[in-house]
Amino acid sequence: MIQSATLYTDRLKSLRRFYGFVLGLDVTETADEQFTVRVGTSHLTFKQSELPAYYHFAINIPGNQFSMMKYWITERVTLNRDSGRDEVYFSGFDADSMYFEDPAGNIVELIGRRKRDLFGDLTKESFLNISEIGIVTPFVTDAGERLMDEGIPLRKGTEVDPNGLNFLGREDWYLVLVPPGRTWYFSQSRAATFPLELTWGDAQRISVDPEGRLQVEKIEN
As a whole number of angstroms, the distance between CA 32 and CA 204 comes to: 28
As a whole number of angstroms, the distance between CA 185 and CA 193 comes to: 16
pLDDT over 70 at 221, yes or no:
no
Condensed to tens digits (0 to 9), the pLDDT of residues 158-197 reads 899 999 999 999 988 999 999 999 999 999 999 999 999 9
pTM beyond 0.75: the answer is yes
Condensed to tens digits (0 to 9), the pLDDT of residues 62-97 reads 999 999 999 999 999 999 999 999 999 999 999 999
Which domain, by its residues, includes 89? 2-218
List, in sequence order, every residue forming a beta bridge with 26; answer none if it has no partner.
38
As a whole number of angstroms, the distance between CA 96 and CA 85 comes to: 12
CATH classification at residue 206: 3.10.180.10
Condensed to tens digits (0 to 9), the pLDDT of residues 147-165 reads 999 999 999 888 999 999 9
Number of folded domains that form the chain: 1
